Every structure is written in C-alpha cells, then in structure tokens.
Amino acid sequence: MMLLDWIAVLLSFVLGGVLGGSVMGRLKGVNLRAAGSGNIGATNALRTQGSAFALTVLAIDAGKGAVAVLLLPRIVLFTATHIPPALPFICGAAAVIGHCFSPWHRFNGGKGVATLAGVFMALLPSAFGWMLSAFVLTVLLTGVVSLATLFGGLIALLYVTCFSTFGVFSAAGAFVVVMVLLVLLTHRDNWRRLRAGCESRFEKARVLGRALQLPSIGIDKPGST
C-alpha cells in the first residue's frame, strides 16, 4: 500500500470514531451512556429517546460507513490512475473499527452494526439485501435485536461462501469474515444474556412471533442491546 492508501485508511478510522449517538446527544443535551442500557447506538437511542432521535443516530452511523468506502479511497487518484480493489474494503473495516474503538472517546465506542450496514449498502448491496431481510424477519419473530444481528451476520457469511461471485478468499470475503467476527466480539455480553434468557426485547416489534404464538425470548424491558 502507498502513502495515500494509508491516509485513506486512517481518515476512515477517524471518521468511524464520530459516533452518531454522541453527536445527537450533544445537540439534544442527552447522554446515552447514562440512559437505558448505556450503549451509544441506535437501539438504545430508540428505547430511551424515541424514533426520530434513533433514526438520526442510525443515519449518521450508516452514512459515515458509506462515505468511508465511496469517497475516501478516491484520494489515491491524486497520484494513481486507479483505486486498488481491496482499498474500499480496508477503509470500510477501518471505519467500523473506529466506531467500536473511537479515537474521539478514549477508544470506547459502539458495536459497529449501523456503520457496517452502511459499508455493506455501498459495497455489497446484494448481500445487504439478504442480511436486512434476515434481520427484519428475526426482529418480527423474536423482538430481540442482538439475535437479529447474529442471523444477519450468518447470512452474510453464507452469501459470500455459497452465492457470491468473489468467494470467501477474496478481499470482499475476508472483509465479511473479519467484520462478522468483530460484531460477534462486540456483542459478547448479549450472547451471554441470550443464553441466560435475560436479553432485552422489543415486544411491540414481535408481530409475527405473537401471531404464530411462538415462545418469548428475553425480557420486555430496557436492556443492554
């Protein structure tokens, strides 16, 4: 990688560290770290501040992921005739890592799901469509966002392994594998609560689960998703 490649990656990491929850919190005089689960992401924002606030947080976090992969790699065009194929994926990974370990917040950030979604929308829209479908279906069945995130990640792995043209051993495949592992790591407390049966859920969102009379998972109260 050349110098401008590394600059693009560094800028992606720095941009990823700009947390939507923190930005909105400053604008609205709200500290998400002191509300609900204490998480800085859109799920806790929805629980504690309402849909408009949460959607704005989601838009900021997803938007920076898209910017990191669509715009920042283009700075290499100042000295080269083309963008290295792997660079957008590396910039996307840097943005997600920056969100999880924000340099603006003493390397303490969020869980990276919204930022990763923005990267997928920009670089792997076909995979994103399947991931989003799995996510929404799981929420409608269980109301548990962390479980929906898990299934979305598994669908992404299945897609790159079995259905994509690039395969798991490409730059895109490596990106998906590493990012899914990162999301699993950032959600480790959620997996423990799921096993214990005390993970929080959005009961109102569990429309299909109630219609099919499926047993409930977790607890319908503000939690730590």
Quick: pLDDT tens for 60-119: 999 999 999 999 999 988 888 889 999 999 999 999 999 999 999 999 999 999 999 999
- At 224, the pLDDT band (50, 70, 90 cuts) reads very low
Q: Which amino acid is at 102?
A: S
Quick: pLDDT tens for 10-59: 999 999 999 999 999 999 998 888 887 788 889 889 888 998 999 999 99
User: Mean pLDDT over residues 148-164, rounded?
Assistant: 89
Mean pLDDT, the chain, whole residue set: 90
- At 168, the pLDDT band (50, 70, 90 cuts) reads confident
- At 221, the pLDDT band (50, 70, 90 cuts) reads low
Task: Say how many C-beta atoms besides its own lie within 10 A of residue 23's C-beta.
Answer: 14
- Report how far residue 87's alpha carbon sits from residue 104's, in angstroms, rounded to the nearest whole number: 24
Task: Say how many C-beta atoms besides its own lie within 10 A of residue 125's C-beta.
Answer: 9
The predicted pLDDT at position 64 comes to 97
| Contact status, residue 155 vs residue 130, Cβ threshold 8 Å | yes
Q: Report pTM.
A: 0.90
Among candidate residues 30, 26, 204, 5, the one with its CA nearest the CA of residue 90: 5
Say whether 219 sits in a helix, a strand or coil: strand
Share of the chain above pLDDT 90, in %: 64
Residues 6+ apart with CB under 8 A from 211: none
φ, ψ at 41 (rounded to 5°): -90, -175
Among candidate residues 172, 66, 63, the one with its CA nearest the CA of residue 122: 66
User: Mean pLDDT over residues 122-150, rounded?
Assistant: 94
